[in-house]
Amino acid sequence: MADSQELRQRWIRRFHPAPDRDVMMVCFPHAGGSASYFQPLSARLTPHAEVLALQYPGRQDRRFEPALTSVDALVDGIVEVLRGQTDRPMVFFGHSMGGTLAFEAARRMEAELGGRLLGLVVSGRRSPGGARQGTVHLLDDAGLLAETRKLQGTSSTLLEDEDVVRMIMPALRADYTAVERYAYRPGPALSCPLHVYTGDADPQMRGDEARGWAEHTRADFRIRTFSGGHFYLGERGEQVVAALREDLTAFQERARTGADR
């Protein structure tokens, strides 16, 4: 069994270490994504928080590990490693599939963190109770790639490279399997604030599916809408960073005053 240091090395990437920051922001990648997706965001946010980006099994330097095919299995691994990172307050930020993982990790960890989970930001992910039936994971490789191109999350040039496709396909299919088979189990709402980020042209996120997140928190709820599609983060990077800085400040102020904001 891996020790805690080995687990951290496998699951967590610190592109810009900042141990003196007052808060850590944990980033949960999208389906088929990797920790490196958040490297630009880490560089811009480091003056305000230490950014930890999660690396799921089956991709990049973990490509020889089997990719996990259920949300529960992914969250099990994430929670185990994050339990060794609780020396400072945390904010969870998850994009697309990562939004579901961040939400489920928050549900599991909020009580034991004792108020040190300052907030959850979910990006490009519809609310759990309103999940649509997905069948992308059942498509052949060509169909799966076509769906990926529609969302424009991976460079079309890269997807023309057979070696790249061969490398990413197992993790991509495993992630779609996990998120499309995910079944929300009702439970208590979170005590921390929950903010939703969405692109105004995102085919994966209708307005009612964004508003549905409101029932999953007893604290502050907010929706921020950006210009762009499912991967608006790349198109509106500066605006997203500005929003995260504002939210990090609000979350920390709420924790200091003990009041919902």
Amino acid (one-letter) located at 106: A
Q: What is the mean pLDDT of residues 13-40?
A: 95
Q: Assess whether pLDDT exceeds 90 at residue 215.
A: yes
At 48, list the tokens. 């305000």
Question: What is the Cα–Cα distance from 107 to 6, expressed in whole angstroms?
Answer: 25
Both structure tokens of 259: 């009041």
Q: Is 31 within 8 Å of 179 (Cβ atoms)?
A: yes
| Span 170-192, average pLDDT | 94
pLDDT higher for 86 or 136?
86
Mean pLDDT of 85-103: 96
pLDDT at 2 over 70: no
CA distance 255 to 133: 37
Render the burial of 53-87: b for 16+ CB within 10 Å, e for the rest: bbbbbbbeebeeeebbbebeebbebbbebbeebee
Instruction: Say what the pLDDT of residue 203 is.
Output: 87
- Tokens, residue 257: 């005053």
Q: How confident is the model at residue 261 (pLDDT cuts 50, 70, 90)?
A: very low
Query: How many whole angstroms separate alpha carbon 249 and alpha carbon 85?
Result: 21
CA–CA distance, 152 with 163 (Å, rounded to integer): 19
Q: Considering the entire predicted model, what is its pTM?
A: 0.92
Vertex 178 angle, CA 43 and 181, to 5°: 140
**Per-residue confidence (pLDDT) for residue 134, from 0 to 100:** 73
Return the pLDDT at 122.
98
* Per annotation, catalytic residue among 4, 34, 70, 96: 96
pLDDT at res. 50: 97
> What type of residue is 10?
R
CATH topology of domain 4-257: Rossmann fold (3.40.50)
Among the residue ranges 89-93, 165-169, 183-187, 212-216, the one predicted with the least confidence is 165-169
Among 128-142, 143-157, 214-228, the range of highest mean pLDDT: 214-228
Percent of the chain with pLDDT over 70: 92
Of the pLDDT bands very low, low, confident and very high (cuts 50, 70, 90), residue 43 is very high
d(CA 84, CA 55): 16
Question: Which tokens hold the place of 145?
Answer: 């790639």
pLDDT of the residue at 259: 61
Average pLDDT over all residues of the chain? 90
Handedness of CA 14, 151, 164, 101 (dihedral sign): positive
Q: What is the pLDDT of residue 112?
A: 92
Tokens 């599939």 found at: 97
**Residues 1, 43: contact at Cβ < 8 Å?**
no
Which residues fall within 8 angstroms of residue 228, CB to CB, at 6 or more apart?
199, 200, 201, 202, 235, 236
Annotated catalytic residue 96: yes
pLDDT score at 159: 59
